[in-house]
Chains A and B, each alone.
Chain A
Amino acid sequence: MTTSPITRKRVRGGVGDSPLRIDGIPKVTGNFAYASDLYADGMLWAATLRSPHARARITKLDTAPAYAVGGVVLVLTQEDVVGRPGFGMHVPDQPVFADGECNYWGEPIAVVVASDLPTAKLGVEAIDVEFEELEPLTDMEEADARDSQTRRMKIRRGDRDVEGAVVVEGYYEVGQQDQAPLGNEAGLAIPDGDGGVDLYAVSQWVHSDHWQIYPCLDIEPEQVRCHPVGMGGAFGAREDVSMHIHLCMAALRTGRPIKMMYDRAESFVGHVHRHPARMWYRHEADNQGRLVKVEARLILDGGAYESSSNAVIANAAYFAVGPYRCDNVFVDAVAAKTNNPPAGAMRGFGGVQTAFAHESQMDKLAAELGLDPLEIRLRNALGRGDALNTSGQLIEGSLPTAELINELDAMPLAEPLDSDDARHLPGGTGLTTDPRHVRRGVGYGVTLKNLAFSEAFDDYSDVRIVLSPIGVEVYTAAAEVGQGMVTIIQQLAREVLQIEQVAVVWADTGVIGSAGSTSASRQTQMTGGATHQCAIELREQILAEFGGDDLSGEGVWKDGELIVTLHEVCESGPREHEIRYRHPETFATDENGQGDAHPAWAVAAHRAVVDVDPELGLVRVVQIDAVHDVGRLLNPVAALGQIEGGTLQGVGLATLEELVLDRGVIKNANFTDYLLPTFLDAPHVEVKWVEEPERWGPLGAKGIGEPPTISAGPAVAAAIRNAIGADLIRVPILPQHIVGA
């Protein structure tokens, strides 16, 4: 054992810093490998035949003409599925390929494998397929009336007969938003030569893919290994299986590596979208603006298959009222099943839809009572020790709603428009807007979201930490979709172990257990929590063994003296520790939606300032002031990036983005017609944090992925209403909704 005069230094890049992300250099130089960049020797390409109808019976499916195309080696259809016929996040209700009938436009019917992509596409065109078109069910209310749904949710809390002095009612609609991650779906499957397969395909949760894939292939679980892979964003679009089973089937049948890559048009049908919604609300309040009763009816269109509709509709119902106290709440919510493209996860997950409605209702109430919009929210602010308005669950964790509202109120308001530079006007350099006609509006959105998985889901994350003389390795299957999980893991490991050199090893399903989904704003708390806890336990083991009181990159310390070097610690045996981290247990709610369904919540408060040209219906979102509930700020730069990026997706939903469907057919499946916010559409965003530590998770940190998207949309909608003095009941708010409103 050595003693040494080295003095202890604090490690760099720990909690509270914003260290550079390690994947940043390859990303700026173009060297980072995304799924679409993967390549294997001898690789074949595959392409998909998709249904041209929203609902149809397949009357003929002859693949022989595809085989006649030179270079085509295999055509797969549902007949080739040897195991379980279908897959699904929650229930396996979606066949791997259309099974005799097509239930949505774009449903896969066959996959053609060929020497290259153009040849595979020629093979797809050559397939001889005929349909008998059937009448599609594409209206969510009609589906509800016909009892076609995946889940019905009921909230019955309190007394339905109580009445408030003021009543406001409203009907609201939310259009269908696409996640539009910039990287399209892509993947590579490589057969292992032993009847198994390694899959490298875009995913927010490789273990969920794994659980869905192997039963369809009818092979042992360990024969399929799903690997985390580089991907160009996710936002919910990568939670469901898309090409995964097709790739594995093709690789196993041909014995060759198989690559697939959807183009943008195919991507629009190749992943699930946000649920469009119709919502009817009635709020009753006393003379002081305190909520007395809220009643709501919600219909979300889940499309043709279930995906995660069961959980999305539950969220819509549980967060139907927002972060406000109310003892009498009655909600009927249904996820309709139609012949529209399937809907599933998108950032905000059910909360986005109801947030637009409940915030519109709060503004109506404020107007009715002559109260300031923030004042009415403050009077009702939900917090720790209250019961959640819908489920009645006692809020034990952090929920600083009132603090957020007060902070937001204290932020300075954006400067008035003082320029006639077209770039600062609604409509921009189209030079259409006369600055004298521009009207400014201000609006607010205060919203609530659950963090991590709810309703008795066994939600966990496995992490393994391996210590060596050159540093720390953290093994996880958590998906890095761009959010910066890689840095958060490093920071937490550094903070505890005080060793700067931390490598994150993205491990496949054969190497480590599930980290759960990179969704529900959960990875900072779940995989971050697992990393933190695992590091603490490993540190304690080592300190106990060597009788030290501190650990660092140099080794074990006691009373300020180095007593063993890290090298010696690692020489004396493997230094490895693995844990499974769980959040506090949650429960299914009863038939009235009552119970302890959630492990934690976060609140967000946004103020939007907009300029509107009411004659042309053009909007410029000038500024968003955002206050966020982060529990404990682990990485300011990463958190800011989540807030700014999430905010712009909310702004997009409020002002631009909508999938246009005509009898189940998407009419704008491209970036020319599905408009995303550009640099010139992006508002200036000012951000403040409130740090009230959560009762679980790493150092009290809370997830931050979804709340900004939920709050920004309602704030923008309210600001546009404020500018033009009209009621707007639908997002996105397009020029035709403003002109003449």
Chain B
Amino acid sequence: MIVSFTVNGEERIANVSGPESLLTVLREELGLPGSKNACEQGECGSCAVVLDGAVVTSCLVMAADCEGSEVTTVEGIGSDRELHAVQQALLDHGAVQCGFCTPGFVVTAAHLFEENPHPSSDEIKEALSGNICRCTGYGAIARALEELAEGTA
């Protein structure tokens, strides 16, 4: 079946044959590999995207259910030339090691800051508790986002 939806502000059409996830369609069909596949079980947040205003794990969303939806992936958050404040903060604080978790953190944190520009440290941790990072121990990610939360105060 044909699914048409908006991805990062552009009208896109995907040819979905069955139960493919939104993640698979984004990565393999729409040329948007920024969202990562690390578990396909909704456990790690590497595949996080914003779907109709809410952060979801795109590995658990059927692409066929996305007709008419609006999706924002990491590719739609900022560009090499114009980084989103969250991206810049992660970069500045050394919060990126292997970076495999980073797209998920960027999407989830950018959404958090949109809803709540001054999250407390606990709120940051709770909002990002669905995103696994195996490299950093979360320390640098916390420092980056806490500073951002204060800086925008």
Contacts and interface: CB of A to CB of B under 8 A. Distances in A.
Interface of A: 18, 20-21, 23-34, 36-37, 180-184, 231-235, 261, 263-264, 421, 423-424, 429, 481-484, 637-638, 640-641, 643-649, 670-672, 676, 678-680, 682, 684-685
Given A28-B90, A232-B98, A644-B136, 14 more contacts: A24-B91, A28-B91, A29-B74, A30-B103, A32-B99, A234-B98, A423-B125, A483-B97, A637-B93, A637-B94, A641-B97, A645-B135, A648-B137, A682-B139
11 contacts: A29-B87, A36-B36, A182-B134, A423-B125, A429-B126, A482-B100, A637-B93, A641-B136, A645-B136, A670-B43, A678-B130
Nearest to A36: B37
A680 B37 contact: no
A-B pairs, 4 with minimum CB distance = A30-B34, A482-B98, A232-B100, A27-B99
Contact of A232 (B38, B40, B122): B38
Contacts of A26: 80
Nearest to B128: A679
B92 A20 contact: yes
A33 B27 CA distance: 12
B33 A37 contact: yes
Contacts of A646: 137
B94 A182 contact: no
Contacts of A182: 36, 38, 44, 46, 98, 100-101, 132-135
B140 A640 contact: yes
Given A26-B80, A28-B90, A264 B136 contact: no
B87 to A, nearest CB: 4
Interface residues of B, number: 57
Contact of B78 (A28, A180, A482, A672): A28
A696 to B, nearest CB: 26
B69 interface: no
Contacts of B103: 30
A28 B41 contact: no
A367 to B, nearest CB: 30
Interface of B: 27, 32-41, 43-44, 46, 73-75, 77-80, 83, 87-88, 90-94, 96-103, 106, 122, 124-126, 128-142
Nearest to B141: A679
Contact of B41 (A647, A670, A684): A670
A232 B140 CA distance: 17
B80 A682 contact: no
Contact of B87 (A28, A231, A232, A682): A28
Contacts of B80: 25-26, 29, 31
B137 A644 contact: yes
Contacts, number: 181
A421 B101 CA distance: 28
Contact of B43 (A234, A484, A671): A671
A421 B122 contact: yes
Contacts of B79: 29
Contacts of B124: 679
Contacts of B40: 263-264
A575 to B, nearest CB: 31
B39 A682 contact: no
Given A25-B91, A641-B140, A644-B140, A184 B37 contact: yes
B91 A644 contact: no
Contact of B97 (A33, A421, A482, A643): A482
A638 B90 CA distance: 13
A263 to B, nearest CB: 6
Given A28-B102, A232-B100, A671-B132, A647 B38 contact: no
Given A25-B83, A676-B134, A183 B100 contact: yes
A676 B132 contact: yes
B41 A679 contact: no
Contacts of B133: 182, 679
Contact of B137 (A21, A232, A645): A645
Contacts of B139: 640-641, 644, 682, 684-685
B130 to A, nearest CB: 8
A235 B94 CA distance: 19
Nearest to B125: A679
A453 B132 CA distance: 31
A69 to B, nearest CB: 16
Interface centre among A24, A36, A646 (most CB of B within 10 A): A24
